[in-house]
Structure 1
């Protein structure tokens, strides 16, 4: 049985879709400004709607937070996952561009700290995140398998082993970055070089430093 709510817009009219989006934006602002805390009354004030109207779109406070997290990953996917960041380039150069976009997105997005640093998520929110991360992992595996079929990555590299390791490592890097770890370089190019050296080794590829 799937307990995860359907946070995607249903068969709403245009005005209702706009109202729902305004509520989502207000909730995102509230979460960002209050470090992950959210009060329905405050969201209603910001969105210029009644508290009761919010419950027409979201079954609970947690459902609203889950929808905000889902929307965060929609934005992440649009900027990083769903595009080819460097058409015509080899696999490693293309993924370097993707990682660079990912670091930039995480550093700039006001909700990144809430999503990445909150380790104790409510079940509905955790279910949304689990689904999105599983989708990212599947796409990464398909990406590597395609590169292997093209001869860009050695077929002896286990995509189902290497991809979870790389993606888990990159996600933890984002956590450290958002936590302002003193052990990370403040030089964006150097950080990208170090990240790509790790990815290259995991994929059995020679590392090539590049200037951004």
Structure 2
């Protein structure tokens, strides 16, 4: 099945009270170059936690925006693509029907789902909602990230087409295992077995298995 896609890129800008971010993106049309690090012209402010080979592209389901607008009617006009800083926006693909390891063809390129997006505190400043990152994580409406397994020319006029499914762990399942359930070694083993899982999530799940406890995410979610 093919999914028409809107494409967005952004430049780093300053945020009062927060650190610089490239979350504010603009729609781009026509042909683009996709490298192993992402779309040419797209920037990341903090490459240690954004971007890189396993996080080259961010995808957010467009249908979630109606839910957010209903939850925050006073800020409803903010909730449209690409408000969450996504590179790719579609209708029909969600965390429940996209799986870790899924490979999509996009133009000349092949991209692979690596992990749910891990919301960070910059979303709180971006939307002016103090707990936006926490709400995004608890809702499961996180979107997901890709690695580029074959670079090439891509276009906003070319759809995404899923060509391989390599695991039985949906993006929704991965988020639930990581954030919404108590320590469960068997579930961590299940997630670790998902082909294509990012290095950072592999490291986190393995560290939990070795230590027997879940790390504190408050700094990521609240900036503290």
Superposition TM-score tier, normalisation by shorter sequence: under 0.3
More strand by share: 2
Give the TM-score normalised by structure 1.
0.26
More helix by share: 1
Q: Which structure has the bigger radius of gyration? A: 1
